[in-house]
Amino acid sequence: MLTRFVHTGDFHLGRPFTFLQQGNYYGKNKRKELWKAFDEMIAYVKEEEVPLLLIAGDLFDSVNVLTMDIKRVAEGLASLDKTWVVIITGNHDYHGDSSPYKKVEWSSNVYIFKEDVFRSVYIKELNTEIYGMSWVKNEYRAFPERSFNSIKLNDTRYNILMAHGEVASQSLYLPIDLRLVEKKGFDFIALGHIHKPGLTPGGIAYCGSPVPLNFGESGERGFLISQVDTDYVNQVFITSSGFKPIESRTYQTIEIQLTPEDSYQDIIKKTIDCDSQTNRQQHYYRIRFSGYINPEIQMDWINDDLEEAFYYIETDTTRLEPDIDLELLIRENKDNPIGQILSELEKIEEAEIRKKAIIYSIEAMIGEGVL
């Protein structure tokens, strides 16, 4: 009887994180963090004696990951002597000629789907049948509908579907039609590929990436744990799923509004005040400045001046505009070359280009001490 199972995937193990700063100090930390999350997931499954672990694709970041990394995973899974592990491959670790799954030996508790049509594996002691499709190349513009339609579920078993793709009508990454897969009557649908975790009341789930991989991946991360109860009267299974968070450094994008009254020190203070000291020393921050700034202030060194206050910081000043009264400037300079340049630039028709041209010239003139 199946009592509980864990659904995870999209670990992207072996990803060579590159950060230009500080001799790739961040990349090394990120790599360690990914392995720590994998080890935590394994430790949870082991301690809780979870009988089934589903890995829904992109366990590895590419087909070129180091063999030592693949062995590390194989050893981790082999240590789960009370757990069946079922794996499908994704677009990153597809099962082609150089498949990472061909490079090492897998223990007998691990089952890997190796075809790009739906097959199933029945685990008798859990009365559970798992249907899955793996990637064997790096692009699927269509769902393997014919093999899916030929699936005939045995209702006395707990039935799981595993697929790695995108819920969309068109995609290069295996488009999945939810209505089609829902109709079949699976007890749980374990999806991979989309890194944002999501769970519907009908038991369709994206487990998400257990560790966020970039600034696009905000919000809580972890894996899904489901509890299965059997309603013997009505002969149905009742699945309740929840999210088990894994702690890791998160990505924070913060907008900071500046005004022309802000001095350089005010800007530094405003930025540091965006979060607590503990958080700033823990997470990744992308600070986006916007609004109007005193044109005397140069933002070229802002990142350097803030880096000690943050574990990681990057700053974006492209939305900032210098606070300049253009009409006044043209009027005051109407009899000299500065005024002539500005009124020439004013004739540019495209508004966005006109604005940029005027701002850059004024900044250059301030920089040269002409203004």
The contact set with Mn ion (CB under 5 A) reads: 58, 90-91, 193
Nearest approach, Cβ of 57 to Mn ion (angstroms)?
6
Nearest approach, Cβ of 328 to Mn ion (angstroms)?
55
Nearest approach, Cβ of 91 to Mn ion (angstroms)?
5
14: left (phi over 0), alpha (psi -120 to 50) or beta: left
Cα–Cα distance for residue pair 357/360, rounded to 1 Å: 5
Nearer Cβ to Mn ion (11/289): 11
Which tokens go with 221?
A: 């991360």
Alpha-carbon torsion angle 182, 183, 186, 190, nearest 10:
-20
Nearer Cβ to Mn ion (93/187): 93
Nearest approach, Cβ of 98 to Mn ion (angstroms)?
17
* Helix (DSSP H) and strand (DSSP E) numbers for the chain: 10, 17
Nearer Cβ to Mn ion (41/258): 41
Q: Which residue is nearest to Mn ion (CB)?
A: 193
Nearer Cβ to Mn ion (76/90): 90
Nearer Cβ to Mn ion (11/284): 11
Nearer Cβ to Mn ion (14/90): 90
Nearest approach, Cβ of 9 to Mn ion (angstroms)?
8
Nearest approach, Cβ of 60 to Mn ion (angstroms)?
11
DSSP calls for 152-179: ---TTSEEEEEEESEESSS-SB-EE-HH
Contact residues for 256 (Cβ-Cβ < 8 A; gap 6+): 267, 270, 271, 274, 287, 288, 289, 290
Q: In Å, how far are 19, 98, 173, 295 from 314, measured between CA atoms?
A: 11, 37, 31, 22
